[in-house]
Structure 1
Amino acid sequence: MEFALEMEMIPIIKSQYETLLNKEVDSLIAVAEELPVNHRIVDLLFAPIHADTNTLNNNDYKRSLKKLNMSQLDVLAIFMTHQKGISIQRLSKILRMKPERIKDSYLNRFLELELVQRISKYTYSSTGWSTVSPTYVVAIEAKLVKWQEALDQAVYNLNFADYSYVAMDQGMQFKPEIVQKFMDANIGLMSVSANSTVTILFEPKKNKSYKYSDFRLQRLRLCRDLICQNSKWGFIQ
């Protein structure tokens, strides 16, 4: 094996991010390490971002987003996946909550903080903060030899990620039947060498089986972290 610890692979993968994101290297690239997602920690994530610096540096958005609790963030995340607006009736179906309660518990607060705007009698949309949105999200689990454990973790990451990969030590020799398990699960596979080489062994298709609640919340958390300059999500310099 070329590495003693899994964490030794992370800087190499980060330095070779264009290998994974070759279609979006002209974008801002957001990155996070050891990101808590539900009850797990995801080793590494990348996300190409299209956003202007004025929005990223908007102190009003920063102050407003910092005032929300997790329940409010979860509801606000719905607006990120409905950029053209969403009706109060649709919100009621998604949240299984009466319209008046939605207004009292969430919408009035969002309006006060100028995080949403009313665009018709029954329809609301997000304001400019939601333009800080990823084109897609890539999640990576790094493992030395425990490929089955890594595969299970990577499959879990499909709850929110557009692409999910496992990165293994190049010294790990993969039999064709093992690679086939990754292909069947639509999990990408890459090898990492100590001489800073990252080789894609299998490139997955874009995920379409995500869990909607996780998908939207993780994008909202990414947006909030970048605007609020929190410690988890940042930009590759």
Structure 2
Amino acid sequence: MTAPSSEGIDRNRELTMRLAGSAKTFTRIDGVSPEVATASKFRYEADMLQPLAKHSNKLTSTLSRVAQWSTYFEVPVSTCGIADILFVEVSPGVAEKRLAGGRSPILDLNELRCFIILQRVRIGFTAEEIAQRVGLSAVGLRRGPLKRLLSRGHVATDKVGRFTPAWRYVNPVRKIIAVEVKRTDWRGAMAQAKNYLSFADRSYIAMEPSAAMHAVNQSTWVDNLGIGVASVDATTRQVSVLRRGDRPSVGASRVHRYLAAEYILNLISSDATSGPISHVFGSNLSVSAGVDPRRQNGANLLLEELLPLG
């Protein structure tokens, strides 16, 4: 283990002194002084979504004050998990043009990998050449991803079996801020938010004030991961940014970023703002009272409502 630098020690000491002192001295980003503890608690994590959506500018302004942001909930991104909230800047006109041309979202990771690989060449690739690049068998590709891409008009094939893209891919999304929402489990929130860095420009955890302050106090964790921390107060329903999210040190994975964009495009095509809401281990994931921002129209249903009975 490398010994901490003097700069890191000074930063940690300053943070510790601020946490130990008056809350009025702790104004991390937006000038709001969050309480170390709050008398009121959220009943469910879903109750925190409405304040975060309402005060989305507190998080989005840390990346861009001029972008036009949209809010989406419960967005699945392959192995990265299901993001509680994505604040997204959509590329103007790209989604509309794509959907108007009948180019449906590509929601399977292997299909998308194949399609992106085909963007790189003019004469196309055979199934064997694609297989070498994605690590799958040529037979499996022909029976699965390539067959589905052909049936939906995303790729074409010639007499010698070369596959070419039927259209050129343009990412419909410019910027993504991902948010993992937890009431108190800051370790679990950090682990999930770390996964979002594989596709997002910034990643945050949003928690009740006491838990959020505790997370910020774990400076080694938040500094090493570069994850932002926000607090959501159950009494005032205000959102405060305690630590800005950092730009991912390695950079987002291109294919996972495209996959996130495809799921967002899928929501846009359905005029929806949320993916399916499911029960987890028998727990209700909806709000305890008031409006659930994920259910603003008929497209946002509980997962059980999408499945046939019996």
| TM-score relative to the length of structure 2 | 0.57
**Shift of the alpha carbon at 1:78?**
5.1
Aligned to 1:195: 236
Q: Which has the higher contact order (CA 8 A, sep 6+)?
A: 1
Greater CA deviation, 224-233 or 192-201? 224-233
Q: Greater strand share, 1 or 2?
A: 1
Alignment deviations for residues 104-135 of structure 1 (CA, whole Å, 9 cap, x no partner):
754565356443478xx96844636x435222
Task: Compute the TM-score of the two structures, normalised by the length of structure 1.
Answer: 0.71
Residue 57 of structure 1: CA displacement?
Answer: 5.0
Q: Distance in 1 between matches of 2:215 and 2:139?
A: 58
Q: After TM superposition, list the pairs within 5 Å mapping 1:11-160 onto structure 2.
A: 11-22=50-61, 23-24=63-64, 26-38=66-78, 40-52=81-93, 54-55=96-97, 58=100, 60-62=102-104, 65=105, 71=108, 74-76=110-112, 79=115, 87-88=124-125, 91-97=130-136, 102=141, 105-107=144-146, 110=149, 113-116=152-155, 124-125=164-165, 127=167, 130-131=169-170, 133-160=172-199
Report the aligned-residue RMSD: 3.9
1:24–1:48 contact (8 Å) kept in structure 2: no
> Where does structure 1 lack aligned partners over 5 or more consecutive residues?
none
State whether residues 51 and 132 of structure 1, in contact with CA within 8 Å, keep that contact through their aligned partners in structure 2.
no
What displacement does 1:140 show? 0.9
Distance 1:164 1:126 in 2: 34
Change (3 A) 1:150 1:59: same
Relative to structure 1, the CA distance from residue 85 to residue 8 in structure 2 (aligned partners, 3 Å threshold; closer, same or farther) is farther
How far 1:189 moved relative to its partner? 0.8
Percent of aligned pairs with the same residue?
A: 18
SS of match in other structure, 2:190: helix
In structure 1, how many angstroms separate the alpha carbons of the residues matched to 2:78 and 2:163? 31
CA distance in 2: counterparts of 1:154 and 1:163, whole angstroms:
9
Question: Which letter does structure 2 place at the counterpart of 1:42?
Answer: A
Contact 2:110–2:145 (Cα < 8 Å) also in 1: no
In 1, the alpha carbon distance for the partners of 2:222 and 2:185 equals 13
